[in-house]
Structure 1
Amino acid sequence: LNNVINGHQPERLLPLLILVAFAMLVQRGLDYLRLLLNNTFEQKVIFDLRRDLYSHIQTLPLRWFDNRPTGDLMTRILEDVSSVERVLIDGIEKGTVAILQIVVVVAGMFYLSTKLALVALAPMPFLAGGALWYTLTAHRRYRLHRRAASSMNSLLHDNLSGIRQIKSFVREPEEDRRFNKESDELRRATFVITRVWALYHSSMYLFGSLGVLLVVAVGARDILSGALQLGDFGAFLVLASFLYEPLGKLHELNQLLQAGRAAGERVFEVLDSEREPEAGKTFADSVRGEIEFRHVSFSYSGELPTLNDISFHARPGETIALVGTTGAGKSTIVNLLTRFYEFDSGEILVDGSPIRDFNIRALRQQIGMVTQECFLFNGTIRENLQIGKPDATDEELLEAAAVANARPFIDRLPHGLSSVVGERGVKLSVGEKQRLSIARALLKDPPILILDEATASVDTTTERLIQEALETLMFDRTCIVIAHRLSTVVHANQILVLDHGRIVERGTHDQLLALGGKYARLSEQSLLKTPESEPTIKRVRFPQSATFLAGAALKIANALRESTSIWRRGKRRPFAAHRRA
């Protein structure tokens, strides 16, 4: 600029402008590549972090989930991971560029004028002090903001999951107020952050502007005195703008860092949580299904005992029925058998070996569960059934559905196995979901079966269909049955009556009725009930080597021949061969 103006060389102006334009083009081209590479790397980091977080969540014990809302976990996986990623990717990239730019610019400023460079750096103590204040005070604000967002998402998840209950109880206005309250908490937490950030951001830019003003004042005086040329001063002002621009980016990066710091605490709190035990042996031979509890005690809270000195023995193929009022500890027993929770004292054995000696996944592969609240995923019937056997063909799925009395309603659906069941199976009735759950357990073909209130909450006709399917499912398996239906437990090999976490009575149905104790009272009080119209289904057992008599007159023999001999001959042998392999 000095040569063009003072040297009266206008012909050099155009080449200089072309050079500057070319430099701008190169800068923007490199910026394009930077953004492309940055976003590619960014998405890979997000994917890896979310994958690791979700994978770790699936290995955590059920006790960890008991006091953590689903909405909170979703917030951590979706929103908090993104905040951490922005710090790791944007923060490192922008911070590195800003620091390098400051170093180069300051060096250029000192090269042009040491005096003006010192003047330009005069606001630095104020800028550093402001950044330190913001850093020390921001963490609490961002932590409260993440908690408010998590609380709102948890409420939203609960309300959407329970929308039928909200409508049936006409709770829309009340739930609207609850959501607005949580949303207002998030608004106020966000406003606190915004208010402090506005003060911090404006103050920092004010100090930067004052720095430029000081440079102009001192530079103008030096130009008038002849100590500084106009071109050098113009170049210095350009450098000054390049100095305060990255300083502003560092302030924005500080805000990003504080938000990521609060989110990172929540993400790594999950990643640092202890997993379920992964060590242990697998089952070398086919599992017979022998189960034994030896003086087992357990407490959910560590204070009041849920189970106290529980002992019983189930031989292979036997059925153990657990009976008692709500809260007696029936479901807790099956939770301990599947190692959803770890017992406090005593021992649980399968085929004579402690279950803690086995790998958890190997243990659970030998156990099938049919529960009262049958959970279906938001997918097709095919996808839900293949949870029991991922490589099952459509023929195998339909065969299992037929044995579980689910084939008729599947055939009525427009798309058959491809029909979507909706979230939690909302498009199906309770009985239909229950029969799909039985079919899923049939496909898994486990030697140990747990039935937890499997016939509750259904009408008599549906219960009869489910009961018939259960008879087939229970054949030749060790079963633990929790039920309030007398027909479900009357033919059990042993009935355990629980009260406040203790076994108070044990024996067969006839023995317990003759005893006249708690079991007899439960039966009299209809806590163990059988509908008047319900025929009692007697369970018939055959040795594994026996064949069914063709043309038998008894209907129960025909049913067992069709649903057990044919189906299990095609299913049991491949499964046994697979386990031997």
Structure 2
Amino acid sequence: MSISTTRRPVRQRGPMMGIGAADKPMNFKGSAKRLIGLLAPQKTRVIIISVLTVSAVVMNVISPRILGAAVDKIFSGAVGGAMHVPAGTTKSAVVAALRARGEGTRADMLSRMDFVPGVGVDFGAVGKILSIVLVLYLVASICQLIQARMLNYAVQTTMRGLREDVEAKVHRLPLSYLDGQPRGELLSRVTNDIDNIGQSLQQTMSQLLFSGLTVIGVIVMMLTVSLLLTLLALVAIPIVMLVTGQVMKRSQKLFAAQWKHTGELNGQIEETFSAHELVKVFGRRREVDATFSEKNDELMTVSWRAQFISGLVMPVMMFVGNLQYVAVCVIGGLRVASGGMSIGEITAFVQYSRQFTQPLTQMASMVNLLQSGVASAERVFEVLDAPEQSEEAHGTLPHTRGRVDFQDVCFSYTPDKPLIEHLALSVNPGQTVAVVGPTGAGKTTLVNLIMRFYELTSGRILLDGTDITQIPRADLRSRVGMVLQDAWLFHGTIRDNIAYGRIGATEEQIQQAAEATFVDRFVHSLPDGYDTVIDEEASNVSTGERQLITIARAFLADPAMLILDEATSSVDTRTEVMLQHAMAALRSDRTSFVIAHRLSTIRDADTILVMEDGRIVEQGNHLDLLEARGAYFRLYMSQFEGAIVDEDDDDPNTMTRV
């Protein structure tokens, strides 16, 4: 059996490590369809929203036609009241008299009007028409209000479900995937991109549906008024399609790049702020500022280009709309003068022309929001579509004694660089196995394989005779307690952090764990005792105290196996002694794997594995390995009596102290 010196791949933390949302053109159609498909659970609400929208559109589009009738009533009444003719004179007589005097144009215009010579405006009829229009507008507004509230609920519920899906997906992703992603980039997808999807759906769904239906309704109503003017208005549609198509073609990649650069900038910020003290100590502020400025400028440039190009739609559409408005007014005026249309009809058509161009402009202005939302959706979908860890096994182990067997285990992070090859090892229940050796020899990888954070290339690992691949991961990991070099505490009380080790832990059990691991000693010196709140960076307790709390957490979990990974590497000698006592209590009657650089912490281990030069070179207890005067002896002497160097490369037992 041998173990290569190839190190576990370093987590790519720099901001240039992106997932590649902008490396290829967006599949806009497919992604948009999938995005809309997220609303499937809200199907009933979506149907109600659509019905309310249709109702509001119908009432809005028929109102100008009704208002046109009111205008005709007012204008016809004003014209009829201004005529000083004998009582009983009819409309046809007035028109005939005008034609007889050679005023044909005026006669044509009056022939289109419904007036009674000498009779003024019928304000009662006008009032009824205005009342109808008022009711229509009021009901339409109520429909839109209800629709907006229901849409908001549907979208927010969908986004909550999407966040839950992403959260669940992250827990199903293999550790290798998470190791390959900058935390800031992944967080940006889970937070910024999902928020952007919600905002895009919220703003575009209602607007696009309402605007699209309005365009259809307005076209129908315009056709009932004038075919000629309707054809003139429809000229705007191909212009809109041409402009929108060109804009979408150019801005799709830009919006994808915008969110990619946002994720990269978040990654750089997260990386810098998490190591803020280190940046200060080594005087790297200028470099950090320069990197930030570079990334910020890149984001600003691509965002500006995306917004500028997509923003061209609105002014172009306003220009087309204004041209259309002028054309409708001029030709409509000529039609009124020739008697082809009434004043009320042209008034209604002018409103329809505005109602027609306005939704087209709104739909065009939604292009940038829609593209931005779809670009974010693609980034989220990439996470949801990422390959998951292998399928979970079923069943459970009734009892764990803690025997671990490595049978011809091989593993590599990359196929061309083997790390562990043909490892065979048996650990009996209750034994402590220490793993020592230079950095990168595969010590941490060994315990990660036990936890199934990574899957074996070949071979098997058995727990009490059962292949760990046949044990559900949650069940396997619930039997293992871990204390890592980096003590992780969350924002909460010391009591809560200890209780994290066991669901439903009682106060008595928390107290016993704290006393057994010497946490109780320093807790009473704190003003709030166990209720002391650990801040987000855990800076209000020392490094050693943080480590003791994590040991207490593992003690409370009462695992069958224990993994200690460099648990004392960053503490002072006095704290290390306390930690050794705490860990000795924790290891009692448990199978333990201890990874340590400080060899003083593993003298009492039952078995010590020494990894060097890509293989397990020695195996035994502390005294036997010292007597062998091999690799372990050289490591031990280098720590306690000075560095050991070889005088003769051919004879590794010939050494000189420096």
Q: What TM-score do the two structures reach when normalised by structure 1?
A: 0.88
CA drift at 1:349: 0.9
Are the counterparts in 2 of residues 98 and 249 from structure 1 also a CA contact under 8 Å? yes
CA drift at 1:176: 2.5
CA drift at 1:239: 1.0
Q: Is the counterpart of residue 85 in structure 1 residue 155 in structure 2?
A: no
1:126 aligned partner, one-letter code? I
Instruction: After TM superposition, list the pairs within 5 Å mapping 1:546-565 onto structure 2.
Output: none
Alignment match, 1:438: 551
Alignment match, 1:197: 310
Q: Secondary structure at the match of 2:197?
A: helix
Instruction: After TM superposition, list the pairs within 5 Å mapping 1:86-125 onto structure 2.
Output: 86-125=199-238
Instruction: After TM superposition, list the pairs within 5 Å mapping 1:227-242 onto structure 2.
Output: 227-242=340-355
Are the counterparts in 1 of residues 251 and 310 from structure 2 also a CA contact under 8 Å? no
Partners in 2 of 1:74 and 1:371 — Cα distance? 23
Are the counterparts in 2 of residues 121 and 211 from structure 1 also a CA contact under 8 Å? no
Q: Is the counterpart of residue 505 in structure 1 residue 618 in structure 2?
A: yes
Distance 1:458-1:66 versus aligned 2 partners, 3 A rule: same
Partners in 2 of 1:424 and 1:471 — Cα distance? 28
CA drift at 1:233: 0.6
- Residue range with higher mean Cα deviation, 402-411 or 211-220: 211-220
Gaps of 5+ in 1: 530-581
CA drift at 1:160: 1.9
Alignment match, 2:157: 44
Residue-pair matches, total: 529
Partners in 2 of 1:385 and 1:19 — Cα distance? 70
Partners in 2 of 1:278 and 1:445 — Cα distance? 27
Distance 1:174-1:49 versus aligned 2 partners, 3 A rule: same
Are the counterparts in 2 of residues 486 and 528 from structure 1 also a CA contact under 8 Å? no
Q: Is the counterpart of residue 449 in structure 1 residue 562 in structure 2?
A: yes
Alignment match, 2:476: 363
CA drift at 1:15: 3.7
Gaps of 5+ in 2: 1-70, 77-114, 643-658
Alignment match, 2:74: 4
Alignment match, 2:4: none
Aligned partner of 2:591 among 478, 487, 501: 478
Alignment match, 2:50: none
Distance 1:500-1:208 versus aligned 2 partners, 3 A rule: farther
CA drift at 1:400: 0.6
Partners in 2 of 1:299 and 1:499 — Cα distance? 17
Are the counterparts in 1 of residues 402 and 429 from structure 2 also a CA contact under 8 Å? yes
1:227 aligned partner, one-letter code? G
CA drift at 1:67: 1.7
Partners in 1 of 2:351 and 2:514 — Cα distance? 77
1:484 aligned partner, one-letter code? H
Q: Secondary structure at the match of 1:412?
A: coil
1:55 aligned partner, one-letter code? A
Q: Is the counterpart of residue 57 in structure 1 residue 127 in structure 2?
A: no
Are the counterparts in 1 of residues 485 and 567 from structure 2 also a CA contact under 8 Å? yes
For residues 88-111 of structure 1, the C-alpha deviation after alignment (integer angstroms, 9 at most, x for no partner) is 444333222112111111010000
CA drift at 1:528: 10
CA drift at 1:325: 0.8
Partners in 2 of 1:190 and 1:484 — Cα distance? 49
Instruction: After TM superposition, list the pairs within 5 Å mapping 1:225-374 onto structure 2.
Output: 225-374=338-487
Instruction: After TM superposition, list the pairs within 5 Å mapping 1:124-139 onto structure 2.
Output: 124-139=237-252
- Residue range with higher mean Cα deviation, 2-11 or 335-344: 2-11
Partners in 2 of 1:222 and 1:159 — Cα distance? 70
Alignment match, 1:406: 519
Distance 1:312-1:22 versus aligned 2 partners, 3 A rule: same
Partners in 2 of 1:269 and 1:477 — Cα distance? 42
Q: Is the counterpart of residue 184 in structure 1 residue 254 in structure 2?
A: no
Are the counterparts in 2 of residues 329 and 500 from structure 1 also a CA contact under 8 Å? no
Alignment match, 1:216: 329
1:314 aligned partner, one-letter code? V
CA drift at 1:273: 1.4
- Residue range with higher mean Cα deviation, 276-285 or 336-345: 276-285
- Residue range with higher mean Cα deviation, 54-63 or 420-429: 420-429
1:170 aligned partner, one-letter code? G
Q: Is the counterpart of residue 493 in structure 1 residue 606 in structure 2?
A: yes
Are the counterparts in 2 of residues 155 and 179 from structure 1 also a CA contact under 8 Å? yes
Alignment match, 1:563: none
1:51 aligned partner, one-letter code? E
Alignment match, 1:163: 276
Task: Name the % identity.
Answer: 34
Q: Secondary structure at the match of 1:178?
A: helix
Partners in 1 of 2:475 and 2:343 — Cα distance? 81
For residues 226-251 of structure 1, the C-alpha deviation after alignment (integer angstroms, 9 at most, x for no partner) is 22222211111111111111111211
Q: Secondary structure at the match of 1:368?
A: strand
Q: What TM-score do the two structures reach when normalised by structure 2?
A: 0.78
CA drift at 1:426: 2.2
1:481 aligned partner, one-letter code? V
Q: Secondary structure at the match of 1:458?
A: coil
For residues 388-417 of structure 1, the C-alpha deviation after alignment (integer angstroms, 9 at most, x for no partner) is 112112222121111000101111222222
- Residue range with higher mean Cα deviation, 232-241 or 89-98: 89-98
CA drift at 1:323: 1.0
1:409 aligned partner, one-letter code? F
Are the counterparts in 1 of residues 489 and 497 from structure 2 also a CA contact under 8 Å? yes
Partners in 1 of 2:211 and 2:614 — Cα distance? 65
2:121 aligned partner, one-letter code? Q
Q: Secondary structure at the match of 2:592?
A: strand
1:404 aligned partner, one-letter code? T
Partners in 2 of 1:381 and 1:300 — Cα distance? 37
- Residue range with higher mean Cα deviation, 161-170 or 433-442: 161-170
Partners in 2 of 1:493 and 1:281 — Cα distance? 34
For residues 340-376 of structure 1, the C-alpha deviation after alignment (integer angstroms, 9 at most, x for no partner) is 1112112111111111111111111111111111111
Partners in 1 of 2:528 and 2:149 — Cα distance? 44
Alignment match, 1:518: 631
Are the counterparts in 1 of residues 604 and 622 from structure 2 also a CA contact under 8 Å? yes
CA drift at 1:191: 0.7
Q: Secondary structure at the match of 1:167?
A: helix
CA drift at 1:87: 4.2
Alignment match, 1:539: none
Aligned partner of 1:397 among 510, 513, 518: 510
